[in-house]
Amino acid sequence: MTLAALLMHMTSAGGAGSEGKRAGTPVDDGGTSHQGAVTEEISTLKGEITSLKEQFRLARERQRLAAEEKQRQEEARYGVTPKANPAPAAGGAGASAR
């Protein structure tokens, strides 16, 4: 999912694959420096990755909360208590008295 989002971002932002420009194909810019553009693109991609990580974290949290809510509803529906402890077998009512 992250790779697809990055690929879409790169192609829409003018990266490899957009408007007939391919990676490895030299582009004549009249000798201008690409260092600033590369730094800017890297910064943009880092921001995109950070944003995607946050979105993924939030989606996982929503999924966890939904699973907990579903479990609570199932417990309420069937009357099951969460992690009920079994009664100890300490020789109480069923033991013979001598």
How does the average pLDDT of the chain come out, rounded? 75
Q: How far apart are CA 48 and CA 50, in angstroms?
A: 5
* Percentage of residues in the chain having pLDDT higher than 90: 39
**pLDDT tens, residue by residue, 17-37:** 544 555 555 555 555 567 788
User: In the structure, what pLDDT confidence band is assigned to residue 15 with cuts at 50, 70 and 90?
Assistant: low
pLDDT of amino acid 95 = 53
The half-sphere exposure of 56 on its side-chain side, counting CA atoms within 13 A, is 10
**pLDDT tens, residue by residue, 56-76:** 999 999 999 999 999 999 998
| Domain ranges (residues) in the chain | 37-80
DSSP label at residue 88: P
**pLDDT above 80 for 86:** no
